[in-house]
Structure 1
Amino acid sequence: MKTDLKRAEQDTPPRATLYANNIGGIDETTVTFKQGVTVLAGRNATNRTSLLQALMAALGSDKVSLKADATEGEVELEFGDELYRRSLERRNGTLVTDGDPFLDESERIDLFAFLLESNEARRAVSRGDDLRELIMRPVDTDAINAEIDRCKQRKRQIDDQLEELEELEGQLPDLEAKRTRVTDEIEALQEELETAQFELEETDVDVEERREERSELETKLEALRETRSEIERVRERIETERESIDALETEREEVETDLESLSTGEETDLGRLEAEIDTLQAEKADLSEEISQLQSTIQFNEQLLSDEESILPEVSSGSDNEGDDGSDVTDQLLADDDTVTCWTCGSAVAQAQIETTIEQLRSVRQERLEDRSELDTELDERRETLSAINENRTEYRQTERRLESIDDEIDRREERVEELIDERERRTDEIETLEAEIDDLETEEYGDVLDQHKEVNQLEFELERTQRRLEELDGQIDDIEDRLDDRNGLEERREDVTDELTDLRTRIGQIEADAVDAFNEHMENLLDVLGYGNLDRIWIDRTTQDVREGRRKVTRSSFDLKIVRSTDDGSAYEDTIDHLSESEREVTGLVFALAGYLVHDIYETVPFMLVDSLEAIDADRIGKLIEYFESYVPYLVVALLDEDAQAVDVEHNTVAKIGSPSTS
């Protein structure tokens, strides 16, 4: 992992310059960040979180707010040779963004790179959220499953081809044996023909006197031989056509059986099913919008509670900025630990009241998430039903067309057989005529010669027919051997597809395993570094359980957070997240976010990690935590109080006042 990080650091520009206008509490500022650690040092309400939000906006996040008294804002990020711009505008109470950010898709970086106080991955530990769901959220499991289906289809096709080649290879010994027998037959026929021809030439006949008779006889014999060859070819064609008809009739029976099995039975109201899907999608969209609004409201209120900076509308200078005792109004508000200034109306609201409201909003959001999950299940079931019906109907129509095609082909071949039978009958009549004419030419003294001519003619016919059989066998064997030459390539392709399929099938599990390993490794390392008293170990135990997804039962992983403490006498016991101190919970949440940052290789695309609200952790541990994280993040930007910033020993860039960077 560190090797990959070094490569990412080498490929990453050494500095980045950010310009922000009307973001959070910022009027206008320009800040330069150097590769490594940048500390935003200062007290509360000094626009440190606003600067982090501006950087988030430039990098692609929508989790950003405009200055309360502004309707427009903008950010620019100069990074290497590129300039990324983003504009923000408030329209009818809604924040609209435009421009060209560093990254178009922000889900991964919002989860694992922008670790502000309200960050979902960071808070997941203390809230007891589904850790596995958070780690896997950026993974497009639907796309992976679709690719698995495509790989399985390719593998089945290759398996079918290999199985066919295996069957063909099994036919080779029989074909080669036949070829040997036919070759022997040809040699025997050639020897027999040579003997017959020699005997014919040696026959004592007055050739000159019977030249005309012999010439006519030879013509008749040649015509007889050609006609017999032709009738043999017709017979073979009839046999081939009939074999094709038998095969087509067998296929027709199979197709008819398939057609019966594809009978749709009771008619399903597709219109009703599609209407239900549209309704469920609309409900899901409404729920998603409501969940998004709830999350935004929760984040704003959590930011309000963090009291990092004032987000009241800017007021004019003068007496309006001072209280009765001449002190700054903001200082008076910050001095009150029990109240918080409302970002909408500017009035003081009890902190406990806001906390209660946040908990209620979280509860409502969780209910809406569960409702959306149920809608997803219903949608999946209906889509599966609709898909199955459509696939069944499509296959039914294709099978009907195939049956019609088979019937047409059978009719065509039967007509061809009838034509060939007629042709065979004509050739048979021709043979009978030729044989009669040859008989008329026979004489007592020429009978032996005639018989020898007939024998030679018959042997030539048999030899020609046997040579054709040999050519057919040679063609079949050559074709099989050519196809077998492709088997190595097919086997290599099958191996590649199998490897790809294995990778796809294990990719989700591998990401889960890598996330668990990363969390456990870094948690163990940091506990050793930070030294939390009797806290021996915190780790994630990855287990599996069977759950239902629509109509299917699938095995899904579960991430269980385990905690072990020890007593003064050294006895170990298992504890729960509820008993962790606030500092321990914060560190655990940050390590979980770091695991997601590394497992999803975020540093390769967005080499930034932003962190604030570390006040629950003591200064010494903050310094060690930053030093540890710095080893894994090209650009680490951290907002700290002045006293906490002094504990950072690792070399870093310090922004003590927005717009005024200096190096420590």
Structure 2
Amino acid sequence: MTSAQTPDTDVDTAIDVHVENVGGISDADVTLRPGVTVLAGRNATNRTSFLQALMSALGSEHVSLKGDADEGRVDLSVGGETFTRTLERAGSSVRTGGTPYLDKPELADLFAFLLESNEARRAVARGDDLRELIMRPVDTAAINAEIDRLKEEKRSIDDELDELDSLSDRLPELETRRTQLADRIEETEAELEAAREELETADASVQRSREEKDSLDNKLDALGDARDELESIRYDLETERESLDSLRTDRDEVEAELDAADGEEEVDVTKIEAELDRLRDRQQALDSTVKQLQSVIQFNEEMLEGTNEEIAQALRDDENGSVTDGLLADSAVVCWTCGSEVDEGDIEATLDRLRELRQEKIAERRSLKQEVSEQQSRRDEVRNATREYEQLERRLTSVEDEIERREDKVEQLQERRAELKERVTELEDEVESLEDETYSEVLDRHKDVNRREFELDRLRDEKREVEAELEEIERRLDDREDLEAEREEINEELEELRTRIDRIEREAVTEFNEHMDEVLSLLEYRNIDRIWIERTEKRVREGRRRVTKNSFDLHIIRSTDDGTAYEDTVDHLSESEREVTGLVFALAGYLVHEVYETCPFLLMDSLEAIDSNRIAALVDYFASFADNLVVALLPEDAQALDDDYRRVTDI
């Protein structure tokens, strides 16, 4: 192995690639550098094999082992790090291992590795669904799940903000009540002070024996205490009964919600999970089938183009060498499985059927993804309903326990109230027997003082409760700004998620149309005025439903010699025009999905259908979008490129 390379390679920026047993390469070492690298050579000089090896080191699975080898390896040294991909034959397939550059190569496979079999590149010529290909890397199910999560979080914040609005509306009422209570306390304090002065005056005017006065005072004190406690019991009873009424109302509401929930159809989550597992298994099987079909199609396309020199050589070395050599010499198509002559049209027809089957499997996979998303949403709804039902049951139990506790408390208070009423009656009778006409005034003054003291205590307690509630509301209202900011962030996230798919579609169309206009202007195709994509809506069947989906319609505008414009079809494009259109479509995906952020390479191959000057212009144009552009060209095409571009002429 040798490699002819442009001298003066900067060691710090050099990109070293070591290849063993990949495609037609037994052993090769190639040094690239940032910018454009041209792999110049005739057909069957391992240029495509090297590109596939480089793809493999970057993470792609589209690679084949050398026919006579059981193991292969690619080492890629870039930016001071080395990445390795190992290949091992496992029956009829190849098992890959190692630590490639990319963990997820799907974007690069679609939009950065632009070999002849690249899906994005071939999509235009085959009339594939261009929108499906652009949107394939976008995980719509994950986007919808995140939207559902954010909507639930936003609902929770909205509920909390509604509660804060209700509390805010209550503030004026509480502040007014606090002011009223402060005024009432002040009035009651003045009234109590006056009542005490009157009691002292009345008490001083009474002339009794000390024993009689002390006895009556004791009875009056006991009576005052009993009345205070009785009034407190009455207040507590009123409070407990109000709480009971509120709790019973809550219980009725919860029971009504539970009754409504009981009436809904019960869904077994395990059945949904089982269906999800079945759908995922089917989706995985379809992924494998699509991949296998792609490999088969790619292999046969390469064989039809005669790019696999190793297998062609094996046919030449067949034991019926003279017949086979004759067929090959006459450029006849020889079957690479049995060595017999086969009509090229039959092979093309078989490839068309395989491509149609692959498209059918892709469509079925897309439908399955939608079904998986629907089943996931249904499962989440059932789980939420079950969780809400269980919460209602717990809440009902809690309310019923609280009702029972308060009913016991009411019963105890009623018993105590009855005891106190009896005690107050007894004390009043005893006091009445001790007082005379003059002393009854003292008793009345005592009663008045006791009543006002109790009223004053009650007012102070109520004022403290109002102030505590005001403080709690103000504390919670301090959180409003943070909650509103959080809700705004969620709204922005939701808007971004809801518009992400639409934005990617719009950007893809814009990128394609703008770059297609620029490329057509550079390449100067004489009778093509414009090639552009229009984003439209179509009614399609998805699973068991008909839905509206966006579609990409490719338009080709030509003009006649007299300047009349008309719309043409893809079928009428020349091979050169189709290749350029496919490459620009792949470039649009490369830019929209920002593949350049994760993959430092853009690879191009099989440009022979385009003339040399246009290839040079196309390479110059694509070079501005990638740090490393590696392109395989025939020697005569490579001559048209800038001499400053690095050449590799022997692999």
Does TM-score exceed 0.5, indicating one fold? yes
Report if the CA contact (8 A) 1:23-1:67 is conserved.
yes
Distance in 2, Cα, partners of 1:454 & 1:210: 22
1:484 to partner: Cα distance: 1.3
1:194 to partner: Cα distance: 1.8
Aligned position for 1:66: 65
Distance in 2, Cα, partners of 1:235 & 1:550: 69
Distance in 1, Cα, partners of 2:271 & 2:191: 82
Change in 2 beyond 3 A, CA 1:212/1:617: farther
* Higher alpha-carbon deviation: 420-429 or 637-646: 420-429
Distance in 1, Cα, partners of 2:379 & 2:488: 35
Change in 2 beyond 3 A, CA 1:541/1:638: same
1:452 to partner: Cα distance: 2.2
Aligned position for 2:136: 137
Change in 2 beyond 3 A, CA 1:225/1:562: farther
Distance in 2, Cα, partners of 1:458 & 1:248: 32
1:619 to partner: Cα distance: 0.6
Aligned position for 1:298: 297
Report if the CA contact (8 A) 1:69-1:314 is conserved.
no
What SS does structure 2 have at the residue aligned with 1:570? Answer: coil
Aligned position for 2:578: 585
Change in 2 beyond 3 A, CA 1:575/1:224: farther
C-alpha root-mean-square deviation of aligned residues, in Å? Answer: 3.2
1:311 to partner: Cα distance: 3.2
**1:112-261 to 2 correspondence within 5 Å?**
112-203=111-202, 205=204, 214=213, 217-261=216-260
1:19 to partner: Cα distance: 0.6
- Deviation track 1:433-465 (CA, whole Å, cap 9, x = no partner) reads 343343344233333333222222221111111
What SS does structure 2 have at the residue aligned with 1:61? Answer: coil
Of 443, 448, 451, the match for 1:455: 448
1:181 to partner: Cα distance: 1.8
Change in 2 beyond 3 A, CA 1:47/1:230: farther
Aligned position for 2:74: 75
Change in 2 beyond 3 A, CA 1:406/1:194: closer
Aligned-pair identity (%): 54
- Deviation track 1:43-98 (CA, whole Å, cap 9, x = no partner) reads 00000000000000100000000111111111111112211111111111111011
What SS does structure 1 have at the residue aligned with 2:649? Answer: strand
Report if the CA contact (8 A) 2:258-2:393 is conserved.
yes
1:375 to partner: Cα distance: 5.0
Aligned position for 2:415: 422
Structure 2 residues without counterparts, runs of 5 or longer: 1-10
Distance in 2, Cα, partners of 1:549 & 1:212: 103
Aligned position for 2:500: 507
1:130 to partner: Cα distance: 1.1
Distance in 1, Cα, partners of 2:296 & 2:58: 22
Distance in 2, Cα, partners of 1:472 & 1:52: 79
Of 562, 566, 569, the match for 2:555: 562
TM-score, normalised to structure 1, is 0.88
Aligned position for 1:594: 587
Change in 2 beyond 3 A, CA 1:560/1:191: same
Report if the CA contact (8 A) 2:230-2:417 is conserved.
yes
What SS does structure 2 have at the residue aligned with 1:536? Answer: strand
Aligned position for 2:8: none
Aligned position for 1:339: 333
1:541 to partner: Cα distance: 1.0
* Higher alpha-carbon deviation: 218-227 or 15-24: 218-227
Of 634, 638, 642, the match for 1:641: 634
* Higher alpha-carbon deviation: 287-296 or 256-265: 256-265
Report if the CA contact (8 A) 2:555-2:567 is conserved.
yes
- Deviation track 1:549-595 (CA, whole Å, cap 9, x = no partner) reads 56777653211112211222222222221121111111111111111
Change in 2 beyond 3 A, CA 1:336/1:508: farther
Aligned position for 1:576: 569
Aligned position for 1:99: 98
Report if the CA contact (8 A) 2:192-2:452 is conserved.
yes
* Higher alpha-carbon deviation: 109-118 or 509-518: 509-518
Distance in 2, Cα, partners of 1:251 & 1:551: 44
Report if the CA contact (8 A) 2:306-2:312 is conserved.
no
Report if the CA contact (8 A) 2:110-2:119 is conserved.
yes
Distance in 2, Cα, partners of 1:550 & 1:181: 68
* Higher alpha-carbon deviation: 301-310 or 94-103: 301-310
Distance in 1, Cα, partners of 2:70 & 2:263: 60
Q: Are 1:528 and 2:527 an aligned pair?
A: no
1:379 to partner: Cα distance: 5.7
- Deviation track 1:93-136 (CA, whole Å, cap 9, x = no partner) reads 11101111111211111101111101001111111111111111
Distance in 1, Cα, partners of 2:175 & 2:262: 47
Report if the CA contact (8 A) 2:203-2:442 is conserved.
no
Aligned position for 1:3: none
What letter is aligned with 1:190? E
Report if the CA contact (8 A) 1:72-1:89 is conserved.
yes
Structure 1 residues without counterparts, runs of 5 or longer: 1-11, 659-664
Report if the CA contact (8 A) 2:223-2:428 is conserved.
yes
Report if the CA contact (8 A) 2:367-2:543 is conserved.
no
- Deviation track 1:175-194 (CA, whole Å, cap 9, x = no partner) reads 22222222221111111112
What letter is aligned with 1:570? G
What SS does structure 2 have at the residue aligned with 1:175? Answer: helix
Report if the CA contact (8 A) 1:117-1:306 is conserved.
no
Report if the CA contact (8 A) 2:112-2:586 is conserved.
yes
Change in 2 beyond 3 A, CA 1:188/1:123: same
Distance in 1, Cα, partners of 2:315 & 2:367: 52
